[in-house]
Each structure stands twice: as structure tokens, then as C-alpha cells.
């Protein structure tokens, strides 16, 4: 994953990072401010090496330093702690008392500090003085140390205030750790989310170009939305750009072509794409016919407000019916539709029949563009059958919905048809996502093509 992709990922999940920081920092602040007050008090001991009176030897000072380090360890041993508990009548176990003590030899001196912690001021001073005095009293007889002496030079005093809790430091640390945890969650979520996010995902995953993108718009089965709802909308410009790309890729200047508009799963928008693409071809003066080859859940007649009493199934089942009997003209200029017709029990067999081949040959002679809508590729085999008799296919995906494994599986189905797949249409994308996918000068719309486009995925040249 490259740096811009990380930025895009953080833009999608910024709320999780912010929530993690707020929760982590707030929890750390609350715990720090609500914790019990801690009092600390320190007793200072002086360690001395026995020496000849009136004679100073530097080695004695070094020995005293070594003794101070040794005594620091001896103070926390069980025998001394048990004796201190008994002498001071402390309601603590040796382990609890050891955790409350901090014994530190001062650097470059023979002083030894014993610091005790407690929930009250008197307790902290009492523990520090008791442990220090107990160690002084027990050093010679218990540990049989005859080479040096230890004495209290500054007893512990009752502290006037509790130790300041590092609330701000804990809050910052909690917020930082929570932010790291939030980013880790984002990486986990992203690794589990296989939806297509960028145009580059398509090229990287399947080696196909993104032919165009269509901004999000509203529409229903009785109104395809987009161009059909408002020919002057920005979405219309998206379809015009797609029309320009497909005209070049299909080679429409050399003759009529039949194109299947396919999608992996229901809800990707293939029917709306077919209807709107046909409309912009018609607006450009091309004669277009749509064949609704979705014989299981047809919608094209609803999109254009047409009758479905007779249609494709009528033509395929009855040799006495000619093409003109099932073609209906729409309210859009230069656009005709062959609706699906009555439901039949054997749609796949009809779509692969010789009569279906004859129908497409006849439509190529009468119209400039033949667009076919069919079932989702991963639902049933109908779309694969239709793809095999067309000149090429286009895959429609919704980046916020279509998953990578769905796209690859759908393209595998089209591979079996042996016809070219021209590329992928990114449908129903948000404005911010579109800005990342494609750069376009503000306030202008152009029907531009890349200088070069990859060759179709499979099949013969067209």
C-alpha cells in the first residue's frame, strides 16, 4: 500500500482515530484523577567504613560506597522486612512492604535513601523511619557486618501534601496509545474489507482499465434516474464520457456492435447503466436498441414505462413473430427497447438458441448500437450465455459494495464466453471518492480518453 492509499484510508476512518484519542485520553485522565492520593517520605542513612582514628584513606570511601550499594539490597530482604513489620506494627506482608519501598544509594556519596509510600502522610513517614531504624539496629547482630557502620542522619518527616499525580502525562500517553490502537484496528478492518476502493484496485486486481465513473444519483425501477431524470445533470456528463470511451473501444465508426452490460451481483447498477448509456447514445444521434435479456427479473420495461406483454421470450418461442412485433420505441430520442416478455421456464436455453443469434444479427443491421441487459453473472449462467453471442462486454461495479472476489469470479465467468471485456465502469461513487479516482478541472466537463488503453481481457479483436 502506497502513501496516498494510507491517506485515503485515514480519511475514511478519521472518526475512529478521533474517537480512540478521546476515549483513551479521557479514560487515562479519569483514572489518574480518581486514583487514591499517594504520600512519600524519605529517611537518609550514612554508611561509613571503619578506619583508624585521625587517618583518612581514599580506599575507605570507596569501600563505604560499595557497602551502601550492598545495604540497599539487604534492606529489602525478608528478615529485615519481617522485623520492621513487627517493630512498627505494620498491617502489611513482606511483599506488600517491599513494593512500598524505594531504596537508592546516592551517586558519588555514601548516603542511602529509603523512601516509603502510603495512602496517608503519617503512614509514609512511619514506614520509612521504622524500616531505617530496624535496619540500623539489626545490621551488626543479624548480618554480622563488622567492617562498617550505618546511621540515620535525617529521619523521615510527615509530608505536607500528597505526591503530584502526572495527570497530564498519563492523559497524553493514554491518547497516544489509543491512537495507535485505533490505527491498528483500521488496518485490521481494511485487510478484512475486500470491497473495491479505487480505480487502481481494478487495474491491479484484474488488469482492466476503469472506463469511466458515474456519480451517485437516485433512481428506481420506474425511473432510471441520471440522464432519464435530468439530461442536464452532472451524471449525464459521466455517461457522455463513458459513451465516448466505448465508441472508440468498440469501433462504432466501422459498424454496429452488440455490447453486454454485466455486473457481478444484484444492485450494482447494470440496468440503470444500460438505460442511461442508451439514452446518451441516442442524444448523440445513434440509433440504439436495448435487449432486456434478464428473463428472470426484468426491469427495463419499467424503467422506460413500456408494456411487457410481448418481448424477447415471445420472439424466441414463436418463429412466426418478427422483430418489429416486439420492439418498442421509447420516449427518449433514437432509443428502442425489446422487453423481456412473459416468464419462461428455460431462459438459458432460449438465450443460447440459434434464434437468439439471428435476432442479434438482425439488430446489428438495423441499429448503430445494440445494448444487452442480463442477469447478474454470479447469480445464474444466463449472462455468460449472452456474453458468448455479443461482440464485447463491460463490467459494472459499485466500489462501496462490490468485493474483489466477486469481481474476479464474475470476470472468470465472462472468460468462459470467449469475448473481450473492455473494462470496468465504477458506478454510484461519491463526489470525494471521484475526486481521488479522477482529476478533472473544476467547473468543466470533458469527454477525454487516455492516450492508450489496455487491450481487451480475452477473445477476438473487434
Helices (H), 284-346: 300-304, 312-317
How far apart (Å, rounded) are the C-alpha atoms in residues 266 and 424? 16
Tell me what pLDDT residue 13 has.
82
Backbone angles phi and psi of 333, in degrees to 5: -65, 130
For every residue of 95-106, DSSP letters joined together read HHHHHTEEEEEP
How far apart (Å, rounded) are the C-alpha atoms in residues 460 and 277? 24
How far apart (Å, rounded) are the C-alpha atoms in residues 64 and 105? 11
pLDDT in tens, 71-95: 888 888 898 899 999 999 999 999 9
Closest CA to 334 of 252, 277, 271, 270: 277
220 secondary structure, DSSP code: B
Closest CA to 335 of 285, 384, 298, 372: 285
Tell me what pLDDT residue 58 has.
54
3-state DSSP assignment of residue 297: coil
CATH of domain 39-154: 3.30.70
Calculate the CA dihedral of residues 236, 331, 392, 346 and round it to 10 degrees. 130
**CATH of range 199-437; options 3.30.420.340, 3.40.50.300, 1.10.3470.10, 3.40.50.150:** 3.40.50.300
- Residues shown for the chain: 462
pLDDT in tens, 22-54: 999 999 888 877 767 889 999 999 887 665 555
Backbone angles phi and psi of 110, in degrees to 5: -110, 20
Tell me what pLDDT residue 444 has.
33
Tell me what pLDDT residue 325 has.
94
Whether 134 and 83 have beta carbons less than 8 Å apart is answered as yes
Map out the domains of the chain as residue ranges.
Answer: 3-35+165-192, 39-154, 199-437
Q: Order across the sheet with 288-292: list the strands.
A: 210-215, 421-429, 392-397, 257-262, 369-373, 288-292, 335-338, 328-329
Identify the segments of the chain with pLDDT beneath 70: 1-5, 35, 49-63, 140-148, 192-205, 218-230, 253, 431-462
Radius of gyration, alpha carbons of the chain: 41
- Written as nine digits, the cell of 81 is 522486612
Cβ neighbors of 441 (< 8 A, separation 6 or more) are: none
Amino acid at each position: 500500500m502506497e502513501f496516498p492509499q494510507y491517506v485515503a484510508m485515514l480519511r475514511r476512518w478519521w472518526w475512529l482515530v478521533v474517537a480512540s484519542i478521546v476515549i483513551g485520553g479521557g479514560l487515562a485522565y479519569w483514572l489518574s484523577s480518581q486514583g487514591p492520593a499517594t504520600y512519600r517520605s524519605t529517611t537518609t542513612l550514612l554508611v561509613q567504613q571503619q578506619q583508624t582514628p585521625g587517618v583518612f584513606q581514599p580506599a575507605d570511601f570507596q569501600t563505604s560506597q560499595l557497602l551502601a550499594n550492598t545495604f540497599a539490597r539487604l534492606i529489602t530482604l525478608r528478615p529485615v522486612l519481617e522485623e520492621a513489620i513487627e517493630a512498627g506494627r505494620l498491617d502489611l506482608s513482606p511483599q506488600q512492604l517491599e513494593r512500598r519501598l524505594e531504596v537508592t544509594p546516592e551517586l558519588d556519596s555514601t548516603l542511602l535513601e529509603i523512601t516509603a509510600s502510603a495512602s496517608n502522610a503519617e503512614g509514609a513517614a512511619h514506614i520509612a523511619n521504622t524500616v531505617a531504624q530496624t535496619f540500623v539496629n539489626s545490621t551488626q547482630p543479624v548480618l554480622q557486618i563488622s567492617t562498617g557502620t550505618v546511621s540515620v542522619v535525617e529521619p523521615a518527616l510527615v509530608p505536607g501534601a500528597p505526591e503530584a499525580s502526572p495527570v497530564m502525562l498519563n492523559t497524553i500517553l493514554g491518547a497516544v496509545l489509543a491512537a495507535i490502537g485505533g490505527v491498528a484496528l483500521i488496518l485490521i478492518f481494511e485487510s478484512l474489507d475486500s470491497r473495491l476502493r479505487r480505480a487502481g484496485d481494478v487495474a491491479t486486481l484484474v488488469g482492466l482499465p476503469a472506463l469511466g465513473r458515474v456519480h451517485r444519483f437516485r433512481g428506481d425501477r420506474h425511473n432510471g434516474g441520471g440522464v432519464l431524470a435530468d439530461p442536464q445533470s452532472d451524471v449525464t456528463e459521466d455517461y457522455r464520457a463513458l459513451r465516448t470511451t466505448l465508441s472508440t473501444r468498440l469501433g462504432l465508426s466501422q459498424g454496429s456492435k452488440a455490447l453486454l452490460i454485466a455486473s457481478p451481483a444484484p444492485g450494482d447498477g447494470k440496468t440503470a447503466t444500460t438505460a442511461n448509456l442508451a439514452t446518451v447514445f441516442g442524444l448523440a444521434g445513434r440509433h440504439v436498441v436495448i435487449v432486456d435479456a434478464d428473463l428472470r427479473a426484468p426491469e427495463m420495461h419499467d424503467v422506460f414505462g413500456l408494456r411487457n406483454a410481448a418481448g424477447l421470450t415471445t420472439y424466441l418461442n414463436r418463429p412466426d413473430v418478427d422483430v418489429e412485433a416486439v420492439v418498442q420505441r421509447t420516449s427518449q430520442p433514437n432509443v428502442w427497447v425489446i422487453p423481456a416478455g412473459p416468464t419462461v421456464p428455460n431462459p438459458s436455453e432460449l438465450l443460447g438458441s440459434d434464434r437468439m443469434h439471428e435476432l442479434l444479427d438482425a439488430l446489428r443491421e438495423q441499429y448503430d448500437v445494440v445494448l444487452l441487459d442480463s442477469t447478474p453473472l454470479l447469480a445464474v449462467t444466463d449472462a455468460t450465455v449472452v456474453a458468448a453471442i455479443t461482440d464485447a462486454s463491460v463490467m459494472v461495479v459499485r466500489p462501496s459494495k462490490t468485493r474483489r472476489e466477486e469481481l474476479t469470479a464474475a470476470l472468470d465467468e465472462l472468460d468462459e464466453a470467449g469475448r473481450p471485456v473492455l473494462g470496468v465502469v465504477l458506478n454510484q461513487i461519491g463526489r470525494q471518492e471521484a475526486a481521488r479516482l479522477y482529476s478533472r478541472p473544476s467547473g468543466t466537463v470533458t469527454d477525454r480518453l487516455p492516450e492508450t488503453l489496455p487491450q481487451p481481457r480475452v477473445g477476438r479483436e473487434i
